[in-house]
Amino acid sequence: MKTLSSDTSPEAEQVQIRIWRTMPPWRKLELVAQMNATVRQLALTGLRQRYPNATESELNRRLAGLLLGEELAARAYGALEE
């Protein structure tokens, strides 16, 4: 049986799916919010490594470019100063 993730056994995936199906909607939303926060932190960590001298403001602007696309981020927050 093929699973959704190559590193997950079919048995484990069945348990996961059963848990997701019985989970209340508020908990699913909470998990999504936690995953989004984790992805943002990982992206900021990567930006800090690429731009070690950048200010928090510049890092947040660069993050906006990653999340929104550079064109929309520039319209919303201004162009990056090079």
Give me the mean pLDDT over the 46-71 stretch: 96
Find out whether 16 and 8 touch, Cβ atoms under 8 Å. yes
Q: Which pLDDT value is given to residue 20? A: 94
pTM: 0.75
Decide: 48 and 54 in contact? Cβ < 8 Å: yes
Query: Does residue 82 surpass a pLDDT of 90?
Result: no
Residue 6: per-residue pLDDT: 83
CA distances from 45 to 17, 32, 48, 63 (A): 31, 20, 5, 10
Question: Is residue 4 pLDDT above 90, yes or no?
Answer: no
